[in-house]
Structure 1
Amino acid sequence: MAFCHPIFASANKPPIMYSPNKSSDSKSRLIIASKQNIHIFNNGNGNGKESIELRHAKILEEVKLLLASKERKNTYEGLSMVDSIQRLGIGYHFEEEIEAILKSKHLMLGHQGNGYEELSEVALQFRILRQEGYFISADIFGKFLDDKGKLKHTLFEDIDGLIALFEASHLSIEGEHSLDEAGEFCRKYLHGWMSTFHDHLLVKVVNQTLQYPIHKSLSRFMPTCLQLENAGWTSSLHELSEIDTQMISYLHLKEISSVSKWWKELGLANDLKFARNEPIKWYMWPMACLPDPRFSEERTELTKPLSLIYIIDDIFDFHGNIEELSLFTDAVKRWDLAAVEQLPDCMKVCFKVLYDITNEFAFKTQVKHGWNPIVTLTKSWLRLFNAFLQEAKWFASGHVPEAEEYLKNGIVSTGVHVILVHAFFFRGQGLTEENVTLMEEFPSIVSTTATILRLCDDLEGDKDVKCDGNDGSYLRCYMKEHPGVSDEQAREHINQRISDAWKQLNRECMTPNSLPSSFTKLCLNAARMVPVMYSYDGNSPSKLEEYVKSLIYRSSSMQKSVRSDSDYSFMK
């Protein structure tokens, strides 16, 4: 079944169901489609590959012209259009146009102040600007608050405004208590409103908003409800998004085929039968975090070190004693094939693959960007091995560390820093001595991203696990350290820690630094991954699994060579 999104909901019309995805920049995007051999198959309506690509280019130009006209007029509709484009996951087509609109809005705020009166308009402006790294003070909401700092009662029936304010509250930073309180009020009020007005046409929009806040979700893989006032450009956006779906679907299938072939030829699944064998699940991380079709090579290359993180984790969890694992870690420190001669075969095989893949990655980076990252890459791997080794020692001794000690190590054992370091080098932007040194020192934006992933995974992944089990988690450590705390209280504490980490990440994204904005967006997408990547109820597939399944089943009759039962074992 196709991956469907509810789109273009309004107060008068129910959402339209359709399937979106994405492509690239007018002519340059068509060149990319050609180079990647993206095949747009005939759907029985007479539209072949060529006509679809030409239609895509034509609509893209139409929307670009419309967006440019909104920038010149500097109207609210321009922001609304930017919001729609970003939520449909096609913002990379319009980076220059969006930047021009937001820069103009930010400058106007500085010189003329806020020109909007409606809560929904002010909140949208706040969210869009902060989302793109422009700092705008939360004081802009002051006129909607009473003398006690609470939302004015006159706004309680403004459902559109409350939705927009709830969304804006997810962009808060430390110390913005009034915005946090307003967001929490909106959440509770909208929940109550849904139970009272369950037949209202906006219920679907409200429910979607509460489940998937825009800032903390990946637009392409989450249902999207857009409320638009019969704007003339909605049909063009609708069609552009649908065509993008087809083009990117087949690009993703091509990449899945490439990853599956690489993994099969690598042979680790046969050599290490105790380890996970989920290449396509691993591919879904870079697929979601690097959505731009221009980054096809980056997605496939990043899947390689990412797969090794899972394999190495399994070796530390299921195979080898502490002495062997210590020697395994020492081999990484020495970066010497001879250092594993006395180790079990599984470690020899794994280290040889790690050694070859990392050196190959460094060579490709040097060819592409003129910088050999081997020293930084090996440092990142050693940091990860040391974290895995620490967890193995805790487990072997039965020691339960204090919560903060566990978290400090657990942030590293996510492997987030390893992948972000690889991505930083392979993208090649901002390659300076200063930034390379910064990446080696585990910058705050990386550690904050890893904190969100670790705490979310521990919180959600442990819902069906008793805290007296053997698997380590922040929840278990915190409850042992605080014996009087209930499970519910511990979870509230973790949720607050996650919220605080998001505030810190928001601040990082709005604080000028030497790292490129593309890296900041990559970190944001990584933080957004957990609710998309995993389904913790044990029954439902994740959003990404649904998407990949839809690709495979839609194309199975046309590209049977892509599919292999062993490659999709994670879906069983």
Structure 2
Amino acid sequence: MLCDAKSSSELMLAIDCVQKLDVEHHFEEEIVAALESLYRESYADQLHRRVNTLHEAALLFRLLRQTRYPVFTDHKRGEFMPSLTGGSHGIVSLLEASYLNTGEAILYEANRFATHHLNSSMPHFAPHFAKFIRQTLAHPYHVSLQSYRARRFLVSFGGGEQGRRKIVEEFARRDFKEVQLLRLQELEQVTSWWETLGLARELKFARDQPSKWYTWSMTVLSNPKFSSYRVALTKVIAFVYLIDDIFDVYGSLDELELFAKAMNKWELSANIDPLPFCMKITYTALFETTNEIAQMIYKEHGWNPMDSLKNAWIELCNAFLVEAKWFEQSQVPTSHDYFKNGIVSCGVPVVLIHIYFLLGQAITHENVSCLETYPNLISCPATILRLWDDLGSAKDEEQDGKDGSFLECFMKENPHCSFEVAKEEVMRLITKAWEELNKESFSSSTKFSRDFVECCLNMARMVRVMYSYNEEHKLPMFEDYVNLLLIENF
């Protein structure tokens, strides 16, 4: 399909098919070559003369922009070309393209137009197509987890194709089964490590959720070739949750200050004797695990990341301590102060910094320095997570913790605003963070590798799955995600 395409249209559709069925990792070189060909034709203006439908135009825009090719919307006209037609499939492609917005007004209009058109046309669609449209509206390609969408598609809509598309769907099914088996093996490794570590027996107050921690790693480092990195990253995520629980539901302020002081020293000889036993064993286990990961990175990539990893953990604990002091003093910080601290305390920076070194790609002193200032690739996913978590207003596992909320801070500063207005402000900030993340992700001048950029995007995509609480304080989307990718056979 990729090599034998007889037209640009066939080639675009083949790439789209392979990507949306989540088997792109098998055909990376072919897709790179195909997109280069499409871009060269587009740049020479040969392709535009052959793009006659809205579907093809929107698909070309999305394929090129998500691969960092410099493609632009028509700012002068600010409207859709009347000559582009293509019915509902074209509108779906327009909707998908609109989510690659870097702040362009015409893409806002495209999103509004496409969403309204598809919703208003729903009664006229055949049941099968209407179901597909509802799935697309709920889970747009760019802001959704592709493994989830592909699995959902194969369950709900697959099986009706013929010819090459049918072969590709069957290939995707077999590939999914192999990847699912790999995930279960990795989860078994993680569970064994967690049980051997023994912290769950000593930290009765803390969350004991190795499967949930692994789900983050499975999602963010989605390429099957990163198996050992997923296992290592799950250990990092486990400690983010554990230390959060120590600060949020266990320690007194005096104990937490001593724990943070020991963390800032970052040495086994640090004075941890005054600490409660649970803090001592957590500190020691974190120290040893981080050293193991640093040694793994040095062995594979020839770079010792210890200083960067250590600093990331220290900053996380210091951010947790700031929040603990706010709670102890019954202080509601300014929304600016809460937000600035919350970007660190959400745990995203420490996770993405570990991922950067685990990947071992584009590691330079300049990039490491940039990384430690939390560029948009890190701060935007952190912003999205912090705000979605606050928007949910539900405690994980119904813990009675000491978390603050951006909504609380915002409403104190703006007493005239209703809760609904505050929620609208949060959604506006989330949309803005996605725009900034897109801008950095699609920039051809970014210093970071495609794999790392994809991890940052996947971190942002996972947020809605992990923090979309319903009225019963449950996570139906997350439960469906885990069920589809780890449990169900088909």
Equivalent in the alignment of 1:478: 410
- Give yes or no for contact 1:475–1:491 (8 Å, CA) kept in 2: yes
Structure 2 unaligned segments of length 5 or more: list them: none
Equivalent in the alignment of 1:339: 271
| Equivalent residue for 1:242, pick from 173, 177, 180 | 173
Equivalent in the alignment of 1:133: 68
Change (3 A) 1:188 1:109: same
| Equivalent residue for 2:217, pick from 259, 262, 286 | 286
- The CA deviation at 1:373 is 0.7
Bigger CA drift: 212-221 or 154-163? Answer: 154-163
- The CA deviation at 1:405 is 1.5
- Give yes or no for contact 1:445–1:508 (8 Å, CA) kept in 2: yes
- Give yes or no for contact 2:248–2:403 (8 Å, CA) kept in 1: no
1:233 maps onto 2:164 in alignment: yes
Equivalent in the alignment of 2:255: 324
| Equivalent residue for 1:487, pick from 390, 396, 419 | 419
Residue-by-residue CA offset, 1:411-464 (whole Å, 9 max, x unaligned): 111111111111111111112212222222222211112111111222234599
1:439 maps onto 2:371 in alignment: yes
Over the aligned positions, Cα root-mean-square deviation in angstroms equals 2.5
- The CA deviation at 1:231 is 6.8
- The CA deviation at 1:551 is 6.8
Q: Secondary structure at the match of 2:93?
A: helix
Equivalent in the alignment of 1:213: 140
State the alpha-carbon separation in 2 of the partners of residues 107 and 401 from structure 1. Answer: 52
- Give yes or no for contact 2:159–2:166 (8 Å, CA) kept in 1: no
Equivalent in the alignment of 1:183: 111
Residue-by-residue CA offset, 1:208-267 (whole Å, 9 max, x unaligned): 111001000011113337799967320111111111122111111111111111100101
1:413 maps onto 2:345 in alignment: yes
Q: Secondary structure at the match of 2:207?
A: coil
State the alpha-carbon separation in 1 of the partners of residues 395 and 245 from structure 2. Answer: 22
Equivalent in the alignment of 1:122: 57
- The CA deviation at 1:384 is 0.6
1:109 maps onto 2:42 in alignment: yes
Equivalent in the alignment of 1:85: 18
Equivalent in the alignment of 1:366: 298
> So what's the TM-score if we normalise by structure 2?
0.91
Change (3 A) 1:552 1:125: closer
Percent identity of equivalent pairs: 41
| Equivalent residue for 1:545, pick from 466, 479, 482 | 479
| Equivalent residue for 2:96, pick from 155, 167, 184 | 167
- Give yes or no for contact 2:52–2:84 (8 Å, CA) kept in 1: no
- The CA deviation at 1:497 is 0.9
Residue-by-residue CA offset, 1:341-376 (whole Å, 9 max, x unaligned): 211111111100111101111111111111111100
**1:346-385 alignment runs, 5 A limit:** 346-385=278-317
State the alpha-carbon separation in 2 of the partners of residues 550 and 494 from structure 1. Answer: 30
Q: Which amino acid aligns with 2:133?
A: V
- Give yes or no for contact 2:466–2:475 (8 Å, CA) kept in 1: no
**1:488-567 alignment runs, 5 A limit:** 488-511=420-443, 512-537=445-470, 538=472, 541-549=475-483
Q: Secondary structure at the match of 2:361?
A: coil
State the alpha-carbon separation in 1 of the partners of residues 189 and 127 from structure 2. Answer: 47
1:259 maps onto 2:200 in alignment: no
State the alpha-carbon separation in 1 of the partners of residues 328 and 227 from structure 2. Answer: 41
Equivalent in the alignment of 2:355: 423
Structure 1 unaligned segments of length 5 or more: list them: 1-65, 556-572
- Give yes or no for contact 1:259–1:283 (8 Å, CA) kept in 2: yes
State the alpha-carbon separation in 2 of the partners of residues 494 and 422 from structure 1. Answer: 28
State the alpha-carbon separation in 2 of the partners of residues 229 and 77 from structure 1. Answer: 19
State the alpha-carbon separation in 1 of the partners of residues 87 and 126 from structure 2. Answer: 17
Report how many residues are paired.
Answer: 476
State the alpha-carbon separation in 2 of the partners of residues 524 and 491 from structure 1. Answer: 23
State the alpha-carbon separation in 1 of the partners of residues 290 and 15 from structure 2. Answer: 39
Bigger CA drift: 362-371 or 336-345? Answer: 336-345
- The CA deviation at 1:323 is 2.4
Bigger CA drift: 527-536 or 198-207? Answer: 198-207
State the alpha-carbon separation in 1 of the partners of residues 363 and 109 from structure 2. Answer: 41
Equivalent in the alignment of 1:305: 236
State the alpha-carbon separation in 1 of the partners of residues 161 and 184 from structure 2. Answer: 35
Q: Secondary structure at the match of 1:429?
A: coil
Q: Secondary structure at the match of 1:180?
A: helix
Change (3 A) 1:68 1:339: farther
Q: Secondary structure at the match of 1:381?
A: helix
Change (3 A) 1:155 1:368: closer
Q: Secondary structure at the match of 1:536?
A: coil
> So what's the TM-score if we normalise by structure 1?
0.78
- The CA deviation at 1:535 is 4.2
State the alpha-carbon separation in 2 of the partners of residues 137 and 352 from structure 1. Answer: 52
* Higher relative contact order (CA closer than 8 Å, sequence separation 6+): 1
- The CA deviation at 1:547 is 4.8
Change (3 A) 1:121 1:156: closer
Q: Which amino acid aligns with 1:95?
A: E
Change (3 A) 1:550 1:106: closer
- The CA deviation at 1:513 is 2.1
- The CA deviation at 1:104 is 1.4
- Give yes or no for contact 1:218–1:528 (8 Å, CA) kept in 2: yes
Bigger CA drift: 481-490 or 156-165? Answer: 156-165
Q: Secondary structure at the match of 1:129?
A: helix
Bigger CA drift: 153-162 or 124-133? Answer: 153-162
Equivalent in the alignment of 1:268: 199
